[in-house]
Chains A and B, each alone.
Chain A
Amino acid sequence: MDQKISKKKLWGVIGASSVGTLIEWYDFYIFGSLATIIATKFFPIDNPTAGFLSTLATFAAGFVVRPFGALFFGRLGDLIGRKYTFMVTLLIMGFSTFAIGLIPGYETIGFFAPILVLLLRLLQGLALGGEYGGAATYVAEHAEPGKRGLRTSWIQTTATAGLFISLFVILAVKHSMTKESFEDWGWRVPFLISIVMVGVSYFIRKNMDESPMFQKAKDEGKTVANPLKESFGKKLNFKFVLLALFGAAMGQGVVWYTGQFYALSFLQKVCNIEFDQTNYIIAIALMAGTGFFVFFGWLSDKIGRKPIILAGMLIAILSYRSIYDKMYATSDVSNKEEIAAKTIIKTETVVDAKTQQAFFVTKTTKSYKDGTTFNEEKKVKVNAASTDVPMIKQSILVGSTSFWTLIALVFVQVIFVTMVYGPIAAFLVELFPTAIRYTSMSLPYHIGNGIFGGLLPVVASSLAIKASLANQAAKVAGKALPYDKPYLEGLWYPIIIGGISFAIGLIYINGKDKNIND
């Protein structure tokens, strides 16, 4: 770089970029974390069209729209500048999040409610698609040569920190009021306070200068008129877009989503661990692991991006089955010693206020020597037919030793995430020239993370359900069970995708550090 940037200014750049990106991740995650409540307010389950819109809001906006945001804002960023573009994405995200908190429920405005939520969620997805590439490029273009991994790693901490803060804010708001108040109006608070955070971040970013590399390219007339055509229409650049996607971002995406989101879903849905306890397990593991993003970013400046990213991928795919098997065994009450004297079983008859249907409800509480508590609620219709399946809800509150064991198992996965994700921003910005950097790096990142990573929970759950059904069918037919541990079958998705990405990265990526000064 021609102009030397002072340390103070550099930290200002890192701080302004990271805080804004963190807020965008926070905004994006609170929707997912509050999905159950949002569904009851805006997407009534007895209405199939609303149900369809709900699924669309989760998938389309959360994952599929992000690459389009990457293309749209990436192009803008390469045309008019990084600073203005990622300020626009910040404002769009802030406005959308705040507005979700203001929308009246389905009962008040009918179908306008789910449609408005869907539109705002789409805007959130578009904004997120444009934000990350801008922040990573902006910081990388300010960083000193040989320290890009370290400097951009701060941007990498924001996705995890955003999730952590979203969990913290939701739990804090939830515990500051009654359950009824939270479900009535309290869930809106995390959305509404976003506007304050976005406002602060906007004013910090407003005073920043344009990236020196982009400014230089612009002054010298070296920007391009059509970044999309330049990035994806020319073989010289497009081959690197494909390599970045298949050799790095795709594998990084599945490792990230397995470590943070599949782990959460596995603890809640497969291990049946109680909602708050699951969030504490994830939050503590994330908090303990976040510093490693910076460590691996720094290390990538010393030994290269490729070895760290690929080592993270390889270790992750080789160890996932053992880790998840251990998570399952740790929470499995059949492995624990029950205190029979503490078992409580209560049966009562309950009438559903809406349908006037009467149910026998049996509540069972079992306690175990390690401090674990198991709760089960079994609901059977009064006068149920023999073919009626009882509704069963189970939740487990694990004892202290199991709690910390689970934190350790999630923490290990967070370390894998930090290995693949810590150096990825520096790796991506180094692949492309200034004129098309924002566009070219954003697309593989958001396809890798938004689509390959974002679809992980659905694909993995579908594989696990398929295995369970095959086992049930074999059991009925009196045949040997085809799957020994059906709950681990979902892991084949990250293992296969991660394995292909590892092989492509190993064989095709040139591990030498590049000079992004062109």
Chain B
Amino acid sequence: MDFLRRILGIIWISIGLWAGYYLVISQAIPKFESSAPEDMVPAIIYTFILAPIIVGGMFVFGWYAIKGEYNQK
């Protein structure tokens, strides 16, 4: 089980990177390009709040997992 915990770290890092790409490229940039003021706030939140939390958080979580920090033996 500890081996699985470590290996899955790669998946968590990948999910974080994919989510960051999706949030910024697919969601935020089209909103930044739109002229509607109500689109600006979600775009700012996706880019400067949600993406850093997911990318940074999942990266560190995945890294800790790979390093065996969550091993239970």
Chain A residues with CB under 8 Å of chain B are 48-49, 51-52, 55-56, 59-60, 63-64, 235, 238-239, 242-243, 245-246, 447, 451, 455, 458, 462, 500, 504, 507-508, 510
Contact present for A59 and B61 (CB under 8 Å):
no
Contact present for B64 and A235 (CB under 8 Å):
yes
Contact present for B49 and A243 (CB under 8 Å):
no
The A/B interface has a contact count, at CB < 8 Å, of 60
Contact present for B41 and A55 (CB under 8 Å):
yes
B64 to chain A, nearest CB (A): 5
Contact present for B53 and A447 (CB under 8 Å):
yes
Contact present for B50 and A239 (CB under 8 Å):
no
Contact present for B53 and A451 (CB under 8 Å):
yes
A504 to B45, CA, bound (A): 25
A205 to chain B, nearest CB (A): 32
Contact present for A246 and B57 (CB under 8 Å):
yes
- Chain B residues with CB below 8 A from A243, complex form: 61, 70
- The answer to the question of B60 belonging to the interface, with a C-beta cut-off of 8 Å to chain A, is yes
Known: A52-B41, A59-B45, A64-B45. A508 touches B65 (CB 8 A): yes
Pick the residue among A48, A235, A458 that contacts B69 (CB under 8 A). A235
Known: A239-B69, A507-B8. A451 touches B50 (CB 8 A): yes
10 A-B pairs whose Cβ atoms sit less than 8 Å apart in the complex: A51-B37, A63-B45, A242-B61, A243-B61, A245-B57, A246-B12, A451-B49, A504-B12, A507-B5, A508-B65
- The answer to the question of B33 belonging to the interface, with a C-beta cut-off of 8 Å to chain A, is no
Q: Which residue of B lies closest to A500 (CB)?
A: B15
A52 to B35, CA, bound (A): 12
Contact present for B41 and A56 (CB under 8 Å):
yes
- Chain B residues with CB below 8 A from A59, complex form: 41-42, 45
Pick the residue among B37, B49, B58 that contacts A246 (CB under 8 A). B58
- Chain A residues with CB below 8 A from B49, complex form: 64, 451
Contact present for A458 and B42 (CB under 8 Å):
yes
Interface core residue of B27, B40, B60, B69 (most chain A CB under 10 Å):
B69
Contact present for B5 and A508 (CB under 8 Å):
yes
Contact present for B38 and A52 (CB under 8 Å):
yes
A60 to B27, CA, bound (A): 18
Contact present for A242 and B37 (CB under 8 Å):
no
- Chain A residues with CB below 8 A from B50, complex form: 451, 455
Contact present for B4 and A242 (CB under 8 Å):
no
Nearest 10 pairs of A and B residues by beta carbon: A52-B37, A55-B41, A242-B61, A48-B37, A55-B38, A508-B70, A239-B64, A239-B69, A51-B37, A59-B41
B43 to chain A, nearest CB (A): 11
Mask of B1-26 contacts with A, CB within 8 angstroms, 1/0: 10011001000100100000000000
- Chain A residues with CB below 8 A from B12, complex form: 246, 504
- Chain A residues with CB below 8 A from B72, complex form: 510
B70 to chain A, nearest CB (A): 5
A148 to B67, CA, bound (A): 33
A64 to B53, CA, bound (A): 12
Interface core residue of B40, B53, B70 (most chain A CB under 10 Å):
B70
- Chain B residues with CB below 8 A from A63, complex form: 45
A407 to B53, CA, bound (A): 36
- Chain B residues with CB below 8 A from A500, complex form: 15
Q: Which residue of A lies closest to B26 (CB)?
A: A466
- Chain B residues with CB below 8 A from A60, complex form: 41, 45
Given A60-B45, A507-B1, 17 new contacts (CB under 8 A): A51-B37, A52-B40, A52-B41, A55-B38, A55-B41, A59-B42, A63-B45, A64-B49, A242-B57, A242-B60, A243-B61, A451-B49, A462-B27, A500-B15, A504-B12, A507-B4, A508-B5
B8 to chain A, nearest CB (A): 7
- Chain A residues with CB below 8 A from B27, complex form: 462
Q: Which residue of A lies closest to B72 (CB)?
A: A510
A245 to B12, CA, bound (A): 13
Known: A49-B37, A55-B37, A510-B72. A242 touches B64 (CB 8 A): yes
Q: Which residue of A lies closest to B64 (CB)?
A: A239
- Chain B residues with CB below 8 A from A56, complex form: 41
- Chain A residues with CB below 8 A from B5, complex form: 507-508
Pick the residue among A51, A447, A451, A507 that contacts B38 (CB under 8 A). A51
A238 to B53, CA, bound (A): 14
A362 to B64, CA, bound (A): 63
A381 to B15, CA, bound (A): 50
B5 to chain A, nearest CB (A): 6
- Chain A residues with CB below 8 A from B1, complex form: 507
Q: Which residue of B lies closest to A507 (CB)?
A: B5
A209 to chain B, nearest CB (A): 37
- Chain A residues with CB below 8 A from B58, complex form: 246
A56 to B38, CA, bound (A): 9
Q: Which residue of B lies closest to A503 (CB)?
A: B8
A451 to B45, CA, bound (A): 9
A59 to B49, CA, bound (A): 12
A238 to B70, CA, bound (A): 12
